[in-house]
Every structure is written in C-alpha cells, then in structure tokens.
C-alpha cells in the first residue's frame, strides 16, 4: 500500500540559494510534527509537501500521489493551512470561501452548497451561513480556513504554524478542533509545546533532517539546543 508520506531526495533552491538539501523520509504516522528555527526551511518544506512548489530534484508522494506533477489528484489528497488566514481567504463570504474548494473538486453548485451546510453544521457553526468574512476574528478566520480544507476531505493536512498568531484560548479551541480531525496532520511549528504528544517529530535545521523520532526525544534535544543557542551572545548570530 502507498505510504502516506514519502520524500525521496527532495532538494530545492530559491533565488539561487539551496534551501532544502536532499530530504528523504517515509512516514505513516497520523500526527507528525516538524520543528526548526526561523529560516530553517520549514515553510518551504510545507509548500513542497503540499505540492505548491515543485522540488528542483527528488519527489514528494502522498498516498502514492506525486503532488507536484498530478495537481488534480493533489487537491483531493492534501490541504494546507497557513499562519495568516488573511493570506488564504480569497472570498468575501463564508459560503463562497468553503464552496470554492468543492467546486475545484468538480462538485456542482448545489453539491458545494450542501457541502458548505454540512461542514458548518458539523462544527456547530450553522449560524455562519451567509456571513461576511471581514468581521471575523483571526481565530474565526483560521477556523473558516480549516473548515474549507476539511470540507474537501483531504487525506493529509499540512499545518504551517496556524496557531502561532492566536491568543491562548483561541489556540486551545483550534487545537481541540485539530484533535478531532481524521486526516493525517503534518504540523510545522517552532514551538515544541504544540507538538508534544505527536506520534513523530522531525527536526529540520538548515534544510536538512537534524533528528527524527519520537516526540519526547526529538523535542527534548531540540529544546536543549535552542536553550544552548539562546544562551549565546548576539541575536545577529542566531539568524537562520
């Protein structure tokens, strides 16, 4: 059976600078965390795994789908949630935002409308039907993005720091929503606390895998290294 996630020697340069260096891994865990410092390449990796950016070399396969080459299959397979929902939302109303992905999947207007109704109902947000997006808080917008992705029923969702701009109660609520998601999650964060309890954590440093294993081991080593670096003199030496 096809593995949920396979990276085979994935490399990528941006503006002539190598960002990802021959990443290779296979994963079947349902909850995978990616940690790393600012500039280590996490967001770039997120985009490559979501098929938004083709690698220069190597291949990403999700459940057997080559997400860079087979875009049609990719949109059924993977969704991505970004840090800032304002960069993700393109429509002025909740319904249009959710319906868009469904029509991209080939659903009719009526099917998409039913999909919108169903996902809002599922999240106890039936009263959002017909609502405008602009008065929503950041957390509510992030929830809208999550619902829009889940309505499409992807098998894997890439989370690129979607909690980091939210206050603590909102983060806790969104975390609870994420916990009930059936799809596989690949959650990118520089905050180890977010990933405690995950099935597997991969630490990325300078576009390479620094460590890969159980959350407790990898996060422990990562925290120790971050504290070591944090104890050093000059923040200008810390840039990624």
In the complex, least distance from residue 54 CB atom to ligand ATP, rounded to whole angstroms = 14
At closest approach, how far in Å is the CB of 121 from ligand ATP? 35
d(CA 200, CA 184): 12
The position carrying tokens 């969104």 is 174
State the first-to-last Cα distance of the chain, in angstroms, to the nearest integer.
38
CB of 17 to ligand ATP, least distance (A): 6
Beta bridge partners of 6: 26, 61
Q: Which CB, 37 or 133, lies closer to ligand ATP?
A: 37
Whichever of 151 and 157 has its CB closer to ligand ATP, that residue is 157
Sheet holding 78-81, edge to edge: 78-81, 156-160, 184-189, 31-35, 200-205, 208-213
Tokens of 235: 């923040």
Q: Which is nearer to ligand ATP, 131 or 205 (CB)?
A: 205
CB of 83 to ligand ATP, least distance (A): 8
Pairing label, strands 57-62, 5-14: antiparallel
Distances in Å between the Cα of 140 and the Cα atoms of 27, 118, 240 are: 31, 18, 32
Contact 63, 1 (CB under 8 A): no
CB of 239 to ligand ATP, least distance (A): 8
Side-chain-side CA neighbours of residue 16 (13 Å): 0
Task: Closer to ligand ATP by CB, 53 or 141: give it.
Answer: 53
The smaller minimum CB distance to ligand ATP, of residues 40 and 140, is found at 40
Nearer CB in complex with ligand ATP: 5/119:
5
Residues that bind ligand ATP (CB under 6 A): 14-15, 19, 36, 38-44, 190, 240
If the CB atoms of residues 70 and 212 are measured against ligand ATP, the closer one turns out to be 212
Provide the minimum distance between the beta carbon of 180 and ligand ATP in the complex, in angstroms, as a whole number.
Answer: 26
Q: Considering the complex, what minimum distance in angstroms separates the CB of residue 57 from ligand ATP?
A: 17
Contact 24, 7 (CB under 8 A): yes
- Angle at which helices 109-122 and 94-104 pack, to 10 degrees? 120
């Amino acid at each position: 059976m096809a593995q949920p996630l396979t990276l085979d020697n994935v490399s990528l340069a941006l503006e002539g600078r190598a960002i990802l260096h021959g990443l290779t891994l296979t994963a079947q865990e349902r909850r995978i965390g990616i940690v790393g410092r600012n500039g280590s390449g996490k967001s770039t990796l997120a985009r490559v795994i979501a098929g938004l950016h083709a690698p220069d070399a190597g291949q990403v396969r999700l459940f057997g789908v080559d997400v860079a080459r087979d875009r049609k299959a990719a949109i059924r397979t993977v969704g991505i949630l970004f840090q800032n929902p304002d960069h993700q939302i393109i429509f002025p109303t909740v319904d249009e935002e959710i319906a868009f992905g469904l029509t991209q999947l080939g659903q009719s207007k009526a099917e998409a409308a039913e999909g919108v109704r169903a996902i809002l109902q599922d999240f106890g947000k039936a009263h959002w039907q017909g609502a405008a997006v602009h008065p929503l808080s950041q957390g509510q917008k992030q929830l809208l993005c999550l619902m829009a992705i889940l309505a499409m029923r992807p098998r894997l969702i890439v989370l690129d720091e979607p909690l980091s701009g939210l206050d603590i109660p909102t983060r806790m609520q969104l975390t609870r929503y994420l916990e009930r998601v059936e799809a596989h999650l690949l959650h990118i964060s520089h905050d180890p606390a977010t990933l405690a309890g995950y099935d597997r954590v991969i630490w990325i440093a300078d576009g390479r895998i620094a460590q890969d294993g159980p959350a407790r081991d990898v996060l422990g080593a990562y925290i120790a290294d971050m504290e070591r670096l944090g104890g050093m003199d000059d923040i200008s030496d810390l840039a990624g």
